[in-house]
């Protein structure tokens, strides 16, 4: 009796999986049939019936292969390949269409049916839905490809190179003085900053110039608030009437830098967040608040040219230099800590903030996991960010018109003082 029940259960499972295989084939077939829905009967090479039966065939071949030989599944796939070749030849001869997408879709349908029976219906269903989505969005995908520029494609491939290829090859172990050098973690931080800059670039790219100052400023903090400050300061000289909006844009971009710091911290050492959160929140609000007030008072539908931020979304040479900078800061930080204590680390943060915030932020966050106490790390990060914003305020005052300089300088100063006091009080 138990054996009969077990056999009935196996038959039930097989029927359910064959049904899934049939439905997955129908899913692909609906999309392909919709594309050829206006063609007359007999002119559609492969529609909903063909794909449904192909999915069912894949499931049956896999089921039979389990009880006989796995070569039966191979023979079934070979049969579908032969049928696809015949259909492709007819397609080329009658329609002058050289696309092989339909043939690949038919082969995938057979594989989905087999996978649903012998392995995982969930994986088969996921793959089938993604396939149907790709097939259904032909125009959109081709449209994005036409809009993609050569240097953007090159940047994307470089990002994959440093992430997928190089990162797994690096040793994940402590080395160097104090064990502060971990090649895998250092390169992972390079990938992190490169990815955020890459996403920031395309956020601005997709928004386009019509979004104007506001959209660009919000996302420039993910890419280069320094570049935006420089561009807007010069633009204020050329277009003084836009100076208030440009000042608001600079404050927004500089304020966006602080949430980015929290992202780094959350990814590398979340234990710092309870301490770092407060000074970062204070500094962000003291920049966003004045920016909102200035924007509300002076916005009148004006627009400006889109600034050229990071024209190369990902420069591999720059990424390598960034990795070297992180390595140098971590070694110097360990050396200064041993020589001068926490004061040496803060001195390093002060000097690093003049040119860059990301490298010192990532370095101190990494060091706080082992050799540096959390309070000193937070104070160093806030100090570096404050100095960096002070430099950008100097750009606005010296390169922009007087109105922009005034509107940027005083919120920057207040934010700097309040952030440092908050960080100091938490130590």
pLDDT in tens, 247-283: 888 888 888 888 888 887 787 778 777 878 888 888 8
Q: Is the pLDDT of residue 304 over 60?
A: no
User: According to the model, what pLDDT value does residue 298 have?
Assistant: 73
The stretch 356-385 carries a mean pLDDT of 75
49 three-class SS: helix
Higher pLDDT, 79 or 46: 79
Q: Check if the beta carbon of residue 385 is closer than 8 Å to that of residue 261.
A: yes
379 three-class SS: helix
Lowest mean pLDDT among 40-44, 130-134, 392-396: 40-44
b/e per residue 142-158 (b: at least 16 CB within 10 A): eeeeeeeeeebeebeeb
Query: Cα separation of 105 and 101, whole Å?
Result: 6
Q: Check if the beta carbon of residue 15 is closer than 8 Å to that of residue 114.
A: no
User: According to the model, what pLDDT value does residue 39 have?
Assistant: 58
Percent of the chain exceeding pLDDT 70 equals 69
Which pTM does this prediction carry? 0.54
**Token output for 237:** 């000289």
The stretch 78-104 carries a mean pLDDT of 75
Q: Check if the beta carbon of residue 163 is closer than 8 Å to that of residue 190.
A: no
Mean pLDDT across the chain: 75
SS (H, E, C) 300-354: CCCCCCCCCCCCCCCCHHHHHHHHHHHHHHHHHHHHHHHHHCHHHHHHHHHHHCC
Query: Cα separation of 23 and 21, whole Å?
Result: 6
Query: Cα separation of 260 and 274, whole Å?
Result: 16
Backbone φ and ψ for 67, nearest 5 degrees, come out as -95, -15
Q: How confident is the model at residue 310 (pLDDT cuts 50, 70, 90)?
A: very low
**Token output for 371:** 């050799």
Backbone φ and ψ for 181, nearest 5 degrees, come out as -100, 115
Q: Is the pLDDT of residue 418 over 60?
A: yes
Q: Is the pLDDT of residue 206 over 50?
A: yes
Burial environment of residue 69 by CB neighbours within 10 A (0 to 12, 13 to 18, 19 or more):
exposed
Q: How confident is the model at residue 207 (pLDDT cuts 50, 70, 90)?
A: low
CA atoms within 13 A on the CB side of 15: 6
80 three-class SS: helix
pLDDT in tens, 26-36: 888 887 777 66
User: According to the model, what pLDDT value does residue 117 have?
Assistant: 86
**Residue boundaries of the structural domains of the chain:** 2-143, 149-425
Look at phi and psi of residue 47 and say left if phi exceeds 0, alpha if psi is from -120 to 50, else beta: beta
The stretch 38-42 carries a mean pLDDT of 57
Higher pLDDT, 222 or 242: 242
Q: How confident is the model at residue 210 (pLDDT cuts 50, 70, 90)?
A: very low
Query: Cα separation of 250 and 91, whole Å?
Result: 57
């Amino acid at each position: 009796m138990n054996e009969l029940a077990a056999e009935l259960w196996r038959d039930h499972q097989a029927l359910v999986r064959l049904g899934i295989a049939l439905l997955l084939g129908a899913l692909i077939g609906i999309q392909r049939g919709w594309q050829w829905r206006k063609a007359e009967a007999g002119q559609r090479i492969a529609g909903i019936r063909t794909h449904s039966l192909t999915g069912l065939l894949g499931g049956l071949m896999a089921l039979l292969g389990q009880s006989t030989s796995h070569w039966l599944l191979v023979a079934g796939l070979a049969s579908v390949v032969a049928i696809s070749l015949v259909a492709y030849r007819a397609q080329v001869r009658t329609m002058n269409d050289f696309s092989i997408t339909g043939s690949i879709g038919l082969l995938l349908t057979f594989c989905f049916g087999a996978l649903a029976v012998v392995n995982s219906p969930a994986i088969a269903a996921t793959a089938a839905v993604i396939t149907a989505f790709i097939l259904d969005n032909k125009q959109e995908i081709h449209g994005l490809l036409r809009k993609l520029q050569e240097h953007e494609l090159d940047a994307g491939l470089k990002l994959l190179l440093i992430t997928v290829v190089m990162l797994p090859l690096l040793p994940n172990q402590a080395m160097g003085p104090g064990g502060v050098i971990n090649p895998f973690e250092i390169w992972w931080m390079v990938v992190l900053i490169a990815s955020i800059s890459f996403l920031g670039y395309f956020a601005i790219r997709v928004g386009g110039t019509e979004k104007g100052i506001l959209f660009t400023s919000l996302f420039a903090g993910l890419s280069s608030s320094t570049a935006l400050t420089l561009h807007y300061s010069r633009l204020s000289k050329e277009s003084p009437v836009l100076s208030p909006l440009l000042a608001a844009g600079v404050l927004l971009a500089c304020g966006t830098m602080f949430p980015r710091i929290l992202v780094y911290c959350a990814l590398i050492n979340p234990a710092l967040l309870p301490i770092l959160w407060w000074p970062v929140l204070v500094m962000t609000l003291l920049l966003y608040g004045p920016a909102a007030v200035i924007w509300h008072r002076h916005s009148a539908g004006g627009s400006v040219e889109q600034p050229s931020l990071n024209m190369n979304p990902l420069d591999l040479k720059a990424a390598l230099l960034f990795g070297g900078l992180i390595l140098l800061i971590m070694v110097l930080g360990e050396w200064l800590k041993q020589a001068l204590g926490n004061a040496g680390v803060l001195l390093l943060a002060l000097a690093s903030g003049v040119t860059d915030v990301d490298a010192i932020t990532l370095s101190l966050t990494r060091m706080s996991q082992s050799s540096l106490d959390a309070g000193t790390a937070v104070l160093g990060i806030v100090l570096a960010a404050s100095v960096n914003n002070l430099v950008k305020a100097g750009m606005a005052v010296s390169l922009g018109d007087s109105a922009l300089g005034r509107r940027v300088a005083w919120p920057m100063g207040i934010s700097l003082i309040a952030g440092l006091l908050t960080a100091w009080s938490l130590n």
